[in-house]
Structure 1
Amino acid sequence: MKKVLITGANKSIGFETARQLLQQGYFVYIGSRSLENGLIAVEKLKAEGLNNAEAVQLDVTDTASVKAAREFIGAKTEVLDALINNAGINGGMPQSALDASIDQFKQVFETNVYGVVRVTQAFIDLLQKADQPRIVNVSSSGCSLTLHSDPNWKYYTHKAAVYPASKAALNMYTIDLAYDLRDTPFKVNAVCPGFVATDFNNHRGTGTVQEAGERIAKYAMIDENGPTGKFISEEHNPETGETPW
């Protein structure tokens, strides 16, 4: 049975991604900053007959928490087949380039960028033991420099200085990570779940968590012919998903 760790999986898109991978026969480690919330999420899944899930206390901003999660999962399995770096924060709105505080930038980057680096580096050894390891960094088409520079893009006026900058940095990390792992079986991609109605955006989105979970799960399960080092947004590009940086 393949095993996957999903950060921020106790609710919303992370939870739905966990549900869909469980339905595909994966064992899912539910990373949650609050262990209590993670345990509640596992019980919800078990109520649906999805029993192969286990909660893991995991705060991506806390090095000790990440290390403890690695030790916990490492005691359970020698191999991790996929890592989905889903945990993220938006930093609050509005985010004017002139008014956003340095503290806002630090807080968002701590979770959305440094958190991904912490978790990826902590679990890379377990991933390297898998036959076809996969890493999915949950990104956003809203961080595309190309799209945000195009006045004809439908979200052109949806500007924010902090959150998109963090995801643009995450995209660059994804490119470098894929490059470092280029001569291995790894597939590493940045995947946008779409503009989804969740607590994250006060339910202003137009997509569903089911659609988002499907998009993310898909790239955790791609075979050896799948892409790597790509920025994927099926909402932006329904045909191939590939999106300009």
Structure 2
Amino acid sequence: MEAIQSTFEVNLFGPIRVTQSFVPLLKAANEARIVMMGSGVGSLTLITDPTSLYSSVNLLDYTASKVALSAVTVSFAKELAPFGIKVNVVEPGHVRTDLNKNTGFVSPEEGALTAIKMALIGNDGPTGGFFGSHGRQPW
């Protein structure tokens, strides 16, 4: 339980706290964007599809926190849409990190590109979505 709580503090409660703290500034800004850092294991579709790389991952704390982050993203998107603030979650792909013992196919720099793209979307861009390097991802 301690590991689960710790993971939720970082992956879920941290982004909620940061977002809530910045909302007054974001409301005053032009074209404000919030990009949550999700994961392919945050997609219930991908983790239950036997043909998906993510279906082989079974990390209770990490997976549950990323699924919850997706729900939080949708909630913030609905709340902040009247202010023109776009809120999306991105998954960077299978990035080489300590979590996967550096076996990922994507460098951290390459993984960051989707987040940067979503941070720069125009006013006609999406909100409340889940995106990867190849576009919209399944929930």
TM superposition score normalised by structure 2: 0.94
Q: Map 1:192-207 to 2 at 5 A.
A: 192-207=91-106
The one-character-per-residue Cα deviations of 1:167-207 (angstroms, maximum 9, x if unpaired) are 11011000000011122211100011111112343211110
Match of 1:228? 127
Match of 2:17? 118
Whole-angstrom distance in 2 between the partners of 1:154 and 1:226: 28
AA aligned to 2:138 is: P
Q: Map 1:11-26 to 2 at 5 A.
A: none
Whole-angstrom distance in 2 between the partners of 1:218 and 1:130: 18
Match of 1:180? 79
- SS of 1:190's partner is strand
Whole-angstrom distance in 1 between the partners of 2:5 and 2:127: 29
**Paired residue for 1:159, among 58, 61, 82?**
58
The one-character-per-residue Cα deviations of 1:111-161 (angstroms, maximum 9, x if unpaired) are 111111111111111111111000000000112111111122233222211
Match of 2:136? 242
Whole-angstrom distance in 1 between the partners of 2:100 and 2:111: 14
- SS of 2:106's partner is coil
Q: State which structure, 1 or 2, has the greater radius of gyration over its C-alpha atoms.
A: 1
**What is the number of equivalent residue pairs in this alignment?**
139
| Richer in helix (by share) | 2
The one-character-per-residue Cα deviations of 1:72-123 (angstroms, maximum 9, x if unpaired) are xxxxxxxxxxxxxxxxxxxxxxxxxxxxxx1111110011111111111111
Q: Map 1:1-245 to 2 at 5 A.
A: 102-234=1-133, 238=134, 241-245=135-139
- State which drifts further: 168-177 or 142-151: 142-151
Whole-angstrom distance in 1 between the partners of 2:125 and 2:30: 14
- SS of 1:182's partner is helix
Contact 2:40 2:54 in 1 (8 A): no
Q: 1:158 to 1:200 in 2, by over 3 A?
A: closer
Question: Could you list the runs of 4 or more consecutive aligned residues of structure 1 that deviate by over 2 angstroms after TM superposition?
Answer: 198-202
- SS of 1:180's partner is helix
Q: CA RMSD in A?
A: 1.2
Q: 1:202 to 1:152 in 2, by over 3 A?
A: closer
TM superposition score normalised by structure 1: 0.55
Identity of aligned residues (%): 40
